[in-house]
Amino acid sequence: MPLRPPAGFIRPGYDPLKVPDAPTIGTATAGSPDSGEASVTFTAPSNVGGSAISAYYAVSNPGQITASGASSPVTVTGLTTNTAYTFTVWALNTYGPSPYSAASGSVTPTASRGVFGGGFDGNSGTRANNIDYVSIATTGNATDFGDLTEARAWLASCSSSTRGTWAGGNPTSGVSNVIDYVTIASAGNATDFGDLAIIATYYNAGCSSSTRGLFAGGTDSGGNDTNVIQYITIASVGNSTDFGDLSNTRRMLAACSSTTRGVFGGGRLNPNWLNVIEYVTIASTGNTTNFGNLTQSRGRLAACSSSTRGVFGGGVAPSSVNTIDYITIATTGNATDFGDLTVDTYDLAGTSNSTRGIFGGGNSDSSSIQNTISYITIASAGNATDFGDLTLARVGLAACSNAHGGL
């Protein structure tokens, strides 16, 4: 890096004795996944030189990608995901450019990543501990990520922008109370998080805000369905805490969220399939409130969301369906038809980034256990499109991401 910014800023009137001192570098922070952005903070120099500073410039290394602003922070755009960058900042006044600041610490813009864990491998007849991932913004087959701490199916998942968690499920026998987690940006095996301390369940559902994860409903070790909602603080390992109750006991439901509201839809309350949708305010413990109804009563479905719209896909009622319907999360009311999945599917998993929802795996009355991943554009109703394939065909898996609607 040169001592001074580009020579093009050294113009007639340039006076090295009247240019500003270098700014003091602060921190660089990556923007949201897929944004290709970083925010660079700095402190203005106490000596601004012979005139007021007119602009500050942040420059990336590598790439020399430059952005300007009137004050701290400066947001640099056009960065490449999964590339590590440092940044320097310089100031400009009437007399010319300051020296560069010291370099910031390294920061890596990330891509939105969907992570699928667990399930039942119908081909081998065994529970799976497989975790695999996709880049949500770009179609393609999934890549192996690592393994859960325990092989199990019909579990639930939720996540923050950095950490994915899975809870409960049905191992080879009994019901699991295990919660484990991964760092979504870094492939590797899951680590123990704690336990479902209120009640161990499978056929449960999970959703989250940026800080708190919820797990709701399901079937306990005695074969009884539950209405319990329990929560974790995703950044802090530990056992779950009681949150409140669903309006009734049910299993095989699905959940999604905005930044403030968690929404639960569908499920089964023997002997009936349900179309009930209800919600909670994630930051405030308490029981659910009625939201409206799905377009079709069904369970064993999946859900995902942007920050404004929740989408429920697939399920069984009692035969498998390809139905997709949607809600506006901030506004209670009945769901609206969205389109169709690429195949009628149940026991599938759903996750999303801010614009795209993906559904993976599952079973179908009309075909074998699926490894198919399909996607929708959440803001635009329409049928799903093929995305790629999971590493393993399986049912009863669960998925999360670092960029879903609750973040």
Domains 7-97 and 113-401 share a fold: no
CATH 2.120.10.80 fits 113-401, yes or no: yes
Confidence of residue 122 (pLDDT cuts 50, 70, 90): confident
- The CA R_g of the chain, rounded to the nearest whole Å, is 24
Give the separation between CA 256 and CA 307, rounded to whole angstroms.
Answer: 10
pLDDT at 177 over 60: yes
Give the separation between CA 133 and CA 349, rounded to whole angstroms.
Answer: 13
Give the separation between CA 317 and CA 274, rounded to whole angstroms.
Answer: 9
CB contact set of 149 (below 8 Å; sequence gap of 6+): 129, 178, 180, 189, 190, 191, 192
The per-residue b/e assignment along 294-305, b for 16 or more CB within 10 angstroms, e otherwise, is bbbbbbbbbbbb
Sheet containing strand 372-377, edge to edge, reads 349-352, 356-360, 372-377, 385-389
Domain chopping of the chain, boundaries:
7-97, 113-401
Give the separation between CA 13 and CA 93, rounded to whole angstroms.
Answer: 11
98 exposed, middle or buried (CB, 10 Å; 0-12, 13-18, 19+)?
Answer: buried
Q: Tens digits of per-residue pLDDT, 291-337?
A: 999 999 999 999 999 999 999 999 999 999 999 999 999 999 999 99
pLDDT at 47 over 90: yes
pLDDT at 124 over 90: no
**Mean confidence (pLDDT) of the chain:** 95
What is the reported pLDDT for 6? Answer: 61
What is the reported pLDDT for 274? Answer: 97
Give the separation between CA 325 and CA 339, rounded to whole angstroms.
Answer: 7
pLDDT at 356 over 70: yes
What is the reported pLDDT for 4? Answer: 58
Amino acid making up residue 363 = N
CA-to-CA separations, 30 to 35, 82, 83, 94, 106, in angstroms, rounded:
9, 11, 11, 32, 10
pLDDT at 1 over 50: no
Give the separation between CA 297 and CA 70, rounded to whole angstroms.
Answer: 55
Scan for tokens 């009437």, then name that residue.
94
| CATH class entry, domain 7-97 | mainly beta
* CA nearest neighbour of 236 among 213, 209, 270, 206: 213
Give the separation between CA 235 and CA 299, rounded to whole angstroms.
Answer: 31
Q: pTM here?
A: 0.91
| Beta strands at 276-281 and 261-265: parallel, antiparallel or unpaired | antiparallel
CA-to-CA separations, 226 to 237, 244, 333, 395, 396, in angstroms, rounded:
24, 12, 25, 22, 18
